[in-house]
Amino acid sequence: MKKSLFAVAAATAFAGAAQAQSSVTVYGILDAGWIGSNTTQAGASSVSKVNTSAISQNAQSTSRLGFRGTEDLGGGLSAFFTIETAVAIQGSTGVFPTAGTGNRQTFVGLRKNGIGQISFGTQYTTIHNAAAATDPGQLNNMMGNVIYDKAAGATAPSFNSGMSDNSSYTVRTNNMVAIQSAPVMGITGNAFYTMLNANSTGATTTTTSGAYTAGINNQTGWGLGVNFTGVNKLLVTANYQSFKSQNPYGGLSYSAAATTGGTYVSTATAGASAINGVGGSAAFGTNVTDNQQYYAATYDFGILKAYAQYVSRSITSVYDSTSYAKRSAQQIGVRANITKTIEAWASGGTGKINPYGSAGQYANFTGYQLGANYWLSKRTNLYTIFGSQVTNNKPATSTANPISYSANNYALGVRHTF
């Protein structure tokens, strides 16, 4: 539960003018404990195993510090803002991360009662907001969730901070304007547009080894979502978002074909593991279109809450429509209060990856997760989480050996919210 620490009355300087009320809430999460993982990767000619164990952080929730405020402007109109940064409990160089992903959310906006709101800044996407409301594990940072995939891989089984994008969808973007409608008969609409228009030609040369050496990505994106909420029982959500990162002066190399006298040609392809957040990268790719969709439903039976989720993502080269990677997954789960102080959840899902036109391998994967909370108070809980996932890659050619990957992740920790 978030606690409002102070409220300041903003008095008008003119007699007879309306008095506006402003308030600021300081909130946050601190999460730490024991975290371990075991990973095994079987390659074409060898098997590698990595086991890790550490007193670490952020297994259930990413630690953070935030400030949230509103001001009543009168007539049903209000202004609002949020500033939220990650907190490094185990950081040796400072409490606040200096990387770009340290900024979790920072935005300002206006809200009109009965109509809706508009906000500008670094914000969550429509899919992430929908997933946060419909995920049985509440988007924790452990393995085993095929929708909110946080696996780092056998060669780098680091404990995820929760800041990076996962392989299923884009979590947040900068330069966003977001719109949310007021609920009408249980239906709420959401939309966003993100834009960073900047291109440069860069340096060129006419030698056989020459290439464009500079250029800035022109990045745009948009998203739409709709939520239907029944009477404390049913929630259904449908969301679609698309991003495009294009640089006409990037991904080109010089070809000295005798018949053409030399020309610049595209060398960009849509790889399956390093584009716009796929594989944990928060950076946009170059010359790709990234389409994402998410559908989910929850139903509260009283003794437990049931969940069903589906996500799909397709990333395509703007130079070659036959070169693209597609990932899809489906998951079901439950969450229940066992006693007044103990709650538990479980989820399981399957999925597949199809890297058309790239050097990657087709893959099928499965995952499951189990977890429980013991609530010491409304703001403090002990937790235990176990997650497991297995990926089986099909050979890219008839002569290649298949590659398999399996991992499990476990944690025991304490989380305090304020």
**Alpha-carbon gap, residue 101 to 229, rounded angstroms:** 32
Burial 271-285 (b: 16+ CB within 10 A, else e): bbeebbbbbbebebb
| Tens digits of residue pLDDT in 237-289 | 999 999 887 766 655 554 554 444 555 454 444 333 333 333 334 444 667 78
Predicted local confidence at residue 248, as pLDDT: 65
Instruction: With H, G, I as helix, E, B as strand and everything else as coil, classify residue 300.
Output: strand
Mean pLDDT for the stretch of residues 56-76: 94
Residues whose CB falls within 8 Å of the CB of residue 308, separated by 6 or more in sequence, listed in order: 296, 297, 298, 330, 331, 332
In this structure, of 29-43, 351-365, 403-417, the range with the lowest mean pLDDT score is 351-365
Q: Would you list the DSSP string of 228-246?
A: EE-SSSEEEEEEEEEEEEE
Write down the domain spans for the chain: 30-62+114-417
- Amino acid in the structure at residue 250: G
Q: How do residues 121-140 score in pLDDT, each as one tens digit?
A: 999 999 999 999 999 999 99
For 30-62+114-417, give the CATH class: mainly beta
CA torsion sign, 372 to 55 to 167 to 359? negative
Residue 102's pLDDT is 79
What single DSSP character describes residue 401? P
CA-CA distance, 157 to 162, in Å (whole number)?
14
Which tokens in the block code for residue 158? 């680091």
Is residue 179 within 8 A of residue 59, CB to CB? The reply is: no
Instruction: Convert the pLDDT of each residue in 171-199 to its tens digit.
Output: 888 889 999 999 999 999 999 999 876 65
What confidence category does residue 358 fall into, taking pLDDT thresholds of 50, 70 and 90? low
Report the range out of 26-30, 208-212, 315-319 with the highest average pLDDT: 26-30
- Between CA 79 and CA 13 the distance in angstroms is 19
Q: How far is CA 165 from the centre of its chain?
A: 4
Coil, strand, or helix at residue 159? coil
CA 365 to chain centre: 19
- Report whether 275 contacts 364 (CB < 8 A): no
State the pLDDT at residue 403. 64
Phi, psi of 128 (to 5 degrees): -65, -40
